[in-house]
Structure 1
Amino acid sequence: MSRDRPTASAWFHRRGELARDGWESVVDPTSTGLAHTGLRIAELNPGDALTLSVEGEERLVVPLAGSFTVKHAENGISTTTELAGRASVFAGRTDALYLSCAAEAVITGSGRVAVASSPTTEVHPSHHLAAADVPVELRGGGPASREVHDLCTPAVLAAARMIVCEVVTPSGNWSSYPPHKHDSHRPGAESRLEEIYYFEAAPVGGAERVAGTAAFGSFATYASDERDIAIAELVRSGDIALVPYGYHGPAAAAPGYDLYYLNVMAGPDPERRWLIADDPAHEWVRRTWPSAGFDPRLPFTSLEKEQR
């Protein structure tokens, strides 16, 4: 299971393959060809600073591990926001900062940070979302149970196009399942959304255990129409999958290892909605979930543990 072999798809990138300008990974139109979504990942040490210039993008700053200070300016007004963050992506919810497309910012701190983005000229106010205000959803059922943190969804944050959430899948479970797509504009039934997956994996126990490079899961995509796409990869911390179209899923956590991914979605449709269409061959699986119930390991992290 070497990480050194070439990737099998232009839509999948190993940790560090998209490094640029002090960032571990940069997903933008110049590096990947995606038109509506972007993502930057960085590891900061004390004294490091990363600049987010005004580029006509709405952005969401998400601490993955550690705490950060974001100094941001808009219309001549400067603000400093402290992001308390968390020990790791397996330690519970995090606070986050939505940055208006008219704001510029500088990030300092220590740890790993993600910046999701989507191009727009539609201005929405910058907003600090507290961890306690991040809704937690349980989705699926049985071995397809997973936990979702809604960071920047239409019901949580006002934004132009961007939709951002986190998914934590317990060891041995599947998520992004059944395989589904959102690549056609069918009002009320399906929306057009590009999607980025950023992965992390860790031995069972999450924040209490050190995540080694051996921890892994798997992820797949395949074509839904004449547009070709195919990913069938083992995924580890820092890897990134790009889904411009096509069916995607499952994202499977290997036994012994928990799996996390950050999803960034946006598209050209006039409404900011996440509407999906399951692969018809597998949509019947959803009907088995009510009787199966949720995995008893979920919620993955209790609110009491988060607040310690």
Structure 2
Amino acid sequence: MGVFYPSKPEKGFNEIVKLGTTTQYTGFGLINLDAEQIYQGTTQNAEYILNILSGKCTIEINGKVFANLGERRDVFSGKASGAYVPINSSFTITEVKGEKVEIAVLASYAERAFAPFAYGPHDVVSEHRGFLNFQRDVHNVVIEQFEGQVDRIVVGETIVKPGHWSGYPSHKHDKLNLPYETEMEEIYHFRIRPADGFGVQVIYNDDLSVRESYFLKDGDSVFIPDGYHPIAVAPGFQFYYLWVMAGPHGRILVPFDDPKLAWLNNVKPLLGKD
């Protein structure tokens, strides 16, 4: 069963999904700063990814400075930049462009301490997934390329074409059954262009004891502890969603497709698609 968090824009830090309340492993919030504003925070027993959604900033972590991070005006105009903050750390974010900066704070419980680092668009690994009317571009922000540099956290971004589905054929990752599936909870955060559009988040399980949906607007978030969780976007509107995952068994991503939809994977070769 999912948990829905409607958009509530706030200045400063807005903790949307508090780590360890509804969730076991993940948390999510947003930092919005005006020109030259500063935000200071600490991580305690969590590791953070500070993923810049728009604007430019300098991030200092435990005295190490990562200057002038951020290369996009919004989430639809380029790949992500940001920084990793280890457990038991302090950090400072300073807006440096004289405008505004918005940063997603993605959190996961962690046990091992690693060195802080910054990343940019050149570090993000991108791939096009799907065909027909379920196409999307997936940007792997902190996944395999940073294995051994983070403890549990997994972060990415997805851009969905207007009128298309994403996370389809429906998949889940709520139990450990390697090599077929791994266990990870997940949080989604959504943006829509134009902003007055909408989409739908669907969540269901095999016996349909869970079957629910959420009407998504710009800035909404959803926590997904289990179940299949595809997304549909209304025609005429482009969708972006940020995702953070973590679980008890490492960072290997092994999603399990709904067996009732497995036949869709056989259609693509018949259409001559690569």
Matching residue within 189, 202, 211 for 1:220:
202
**Aligned with 1:284 (options 222, 241, 263):** 263
- Name the residue aligned to 2:56: 67
| 2:144 aligned partner | 154
Match of 1:257 among 231, 237, 241: 237
Matched, 1:84 2:70: yes
State whether residues 2 and 224 of structure 2, in contact with CA within 8 Å, keep that contact through their aligned partners in structure 1.
no
Shift of 1:219: 1.1
How far apart are residue 244 of structure 1 and its match? 0.6
Q: Quick one: which of 153, 158, 168 aligns to 1:167?
A: 158
Q: How does 1:191-270 map to 2 (within 5 A)?
A: 191-203=182-194, 212=195, 214-224=196-206, 229-249=210-230, 251-269=231-249
Q: Give the alignment's Cα RMSD to 1 decimal.
A: 2.3
Q: Which residue of 2 aligns with 1:208?
A: none
Give the 3-state SS of the residue equivalent to 2:145 in structure 1.
coil
Which residue of structure 2 aligns with residue 297 of structure 1? Answer: none
Residues 102 and 232 (structure 1), Cα distance of their counterparts in 2 relative to 1, 3 Å cut? same
Once the 2 structures are TM-superposed, how far is the Cα of residue 237 of structure 1 from its aligned partner? 1.6
Q: Give the Cα–Cα distance (whole angstroms) in 2 for the partners of residues 282 and 262 of structure 1.
A: 25
| Unaligned residue ranges in structure 2 (runs of 5+) | none
Tell me the alpha carbon deviations over residues 34-57 of structure 1, each in whole angstroms, 9 at most, x when there is no partner: 010111113221243322213121
What one-letter code is carried by the residue in structure 1 that aligns with 2:61? H
Bigger mean CA deviation after superposition, 61-70 or 258-267: 61-70
After superposition, give the CA deviation of every residue in 1:164-213 in whole Å (9 maximum; x if it has no partner). Answer: 1100001111111111111111122211100000000003xxxxxxxx3x
TM-score by length of structure 2 reads: 0.90
What does 1:23-172 align with in structure 2 at a 5 Å threshold? 23-29=13-19, 32-73=21-62, 77-109=63-95, 110-157=100-147, 158-172=149-163
Give the deviation of 1:163 after TM superposition. Answer: 0.8
Q: How much has 1:216 moved relative to structure 2?
A: 1.5
| Selected match of 1:176 from 136, 161, 167 | 167
Deviation at 1:230, TM superposition (A): 4.5
Q: Which amino acid in 2 is paired with 1:113?
A: I
| Residue pair 1:81, 1:128 contacting (<8 A) in 2 also | no
| Distance in 2 of aligned mates of 1:121 and 1:131 | 28
Shift of 1:86: 0.7
Return the letter of the residue paired with 1:94: A
Residue deviations 1:58-95 (CA, integer Å, cap 9, x gap): 1111111111221211xxx4324331231111102122
Give 3-state SS (helix, strand or coil) of 1:281's partner: helix
**Residue pair 2:2, 2:225 contacting (<8 A) in 1 also:** no
Q: How much identity, in percent, do the aligned residues show?
A: 29
Give the CA deviation at 1:247. Answer: 1.4
Structure 1 CA distance, aligned partners of 2:101 and 2:65?
A: 22
Q: Distance in 1 between matches of 2:31 and 2:271?
A: 39
1:126 counterpart letter in structure 2: P
Which residue identity is paired with 1:239? D
Match of 1:88, SS state, is: coil
Q: What TM-score do the two structures reach when normalised by structure 1?
A: 0.80
Query: Offset at 1:292?
Result: 4.7
- Classify the secondary structure of the residue corresponding to 2:264: helix
Post-superposition Cα deviations, 1:261-294, rounded to whole Å, max 9, x if no partner, equal: 001000011x311111111111221222345577
Which deviates the most, 41-50 or 133-142? Answer: 41-50
Q: What secondary structure sits across from 1:287 in the alignment? A: helix
Contact preservation (8 Å) 1:37, 1:196:
yes
In structure 2, distance between residues paired with 1:97 and 1:137: 22
Distance across 1 between alignment mates of 2:272 and 2:27: 35
Q: Is the 8 A contact 1:141 1:293 kept in 2?
A: no
